Amino acid sequence: MFKKYLGLILLIFISTNLSYGQLNYKQKLPGTEESISMLYIPGGKFIMGSPSTEKGHFADEGPQHEVYIDPFWMAEYETTWDLYTLFMERTIDRYQKNTYLDQEVDIEVDAVSGATTPYTDMSFGMGTDGYPAICMTQLAAVKFCEWLSAMTGNFYRLPTEAEWEYACRAGSNSPYSFDEASEDLSNYAWFLDNSGDKYHKVGLKKPNKWGLFDMHGNVAEWTLDRYEIKAYQKRKKKGNNNPYLEPTKTYPRVVRGGSWMDRPTRLRSATRRGSSKRWKQRDPQIPKSLWWHTDAPFVGFRIVRPLVTPETEIQNKYWNN
């Protein structure tokens, strides 16, 4: 309860005293020189989905509906191998932050499951220093968030599908976060036409209006939601507050943003994709890995931190779904 009221007090203070830029921060990882740049995303309403007249529109993107999103922070960049390797190796666990009264998360890092070492190079020779981490399952991405939360004392998770689209659009209603009439997709994204058949270092293209890089292309990104083709048909036209479709089974779950392997229409803000067990088709292990999608070199993730920290029970729900 203390965490909840602390969050509400912080929200009131922020709305009356600070500009958005002043709310951005860098999350340092204990025991390393690494940090994660977190950008403040103001809460608000937006129209989720795409009209049937939009080029590349799929049926699962409609009907359009109004959604309200609470404020949160989102990572400026996709999670890189530099960061993800720390989670895999777990050599910095001994530097876990000491517990304080105002800490959002109070769990022992030793209690967090760790990803197994992959049997092959999951970067497939495309690069690791400054490049986005790929091929992890949604479980692995979720556990990275839990591990990071334990290490820092701040609550981190994957974005919901609605949060992701809201952040990607950054106030736009067009197919992409920029004006197609005046700018070109290649200025903002790596995709089939310009990627050279590989991903690229994060942050090399232009960011969207909220400062987020690679929301279109480079690697697609995990969200928390389960994927349903008719998910939007079950929602109201208005009054949808922070929608989240909780998973009930391993597949399919929602991936957003398109990747270096995709055509331009797959990079649109509204485009949805469901995960598949076929993404492990070439995994030789029996049983197949819980942590790696051998056939998904197009999937990565980025993290978020809600302004108002949920209670411990809800935190665990996000990390163990």
In sequence order, the 6+-apart residues with CB closer than 8 A to the CB of 126 are 198, 199, 297
Distances (CA, A) of 29 to 74, 227, 253: 16, 32, 29
Query: What's the CA gap between 55 and 266, in Å, rounded?
Result: 10
Angle, alpha carbons 238-241-242 (nearest 5°): 135
Neighbours of 261 (CB within 10 A): 18
Backbone phi and psi for residue 118, each to the nearest 5 degrees, phi listed first: -70, 155
User: Which two structure tokens, joined as six digits, stand for 51?
Assistant: 């009209």
Report DSSP letters for 150-178, one per residue: HHHSS--BPPPHHHHHHHHHTT--SSSSS
Q: What is the pLDDT of residues 263-302, one digit of tens each?
A: 999 999 999 999 999 999 888 777 889 999 999 999 999 9
Q: What is the pLDDT of residues 42-68, one digit of tens each?
A: 999 999 999 999 999 999 999 999 999
Do the Cβ atoms of 48 and 275 come closer than 8 Å? Answer: no
- The three-class DSSP label of residue 46 is strand
Do the Cβ atoms of 161 and 223 come closer than 8 Å? Answer: yes
Distances (CA, A) of 141 to 87, 182, 193, 238, 304: 10, 36, 28, 31, 12
Distances (CA, A) of 23 to 151, 196, 239: 21, 37, 27
Task: Provide the terminal-to-terminal Cα distance of the chain, rounded to the nearest Å.
Answer: 23
Residues in the chain: 321
Number of alpha carbons in the 13 Å side-chain half-sphere of residue 307 = 21
Mean pLDDT for the chain?
A: 93
Task: Look at residue 96 in the predicted model and tell me its pLDDT.
Answer: 94
Task: Look at residue 204 in the predicted model and tell me its pLDDT.
Answer: 98
In sequence order, the 6+-apart residues with CB closer than 8 A to the CB of 92 are 29, 30, 31, 32, 86, 151
Backbone phi and psi for residue 138, each to the nearest 5 degrees, phi listed first: -65, -35
Task: Look at residue 24 in the predicted model and tell me its pLDDT.
Answer: 97
Amino acid at 119: Y
Query: What's the CA gap between 88 and 148, in Å, rounded?
Result: 12
Do the Cβ atoms of 257 and 267 come closer than 8 Å? Answer: yes
Do the Cβ atoms of 250 and 150 come closer than 8 Å? Answer: no
Q: Which residues of the chain have pLDDT under 70?
A: 1-21, 101
Task: Look at residue 100 in the predicted model and tell me its pLDDT.
Answer: 72
Residue with tokens 């270092």: 201
Query: What's the CA gap between 71 and 49, in Å, rounded?
Result: 20
Q: What does the DSSP 8-state code read for residue 123?
A: T
Task: Look at residue 13 in the predicted model and tell me its pLDDT.
Answer: 52
Task: Look at residue 10 in the predicted model and tell me its pLDDT.
Answer: 54
- The three-class DSSP label of residue 27 is strand
Report DSSP letters for 245-272, one per residue: ---SSSS-EEEES--TTS-GGGGSTT-E
**pTM for the full predicted model:** 0.93
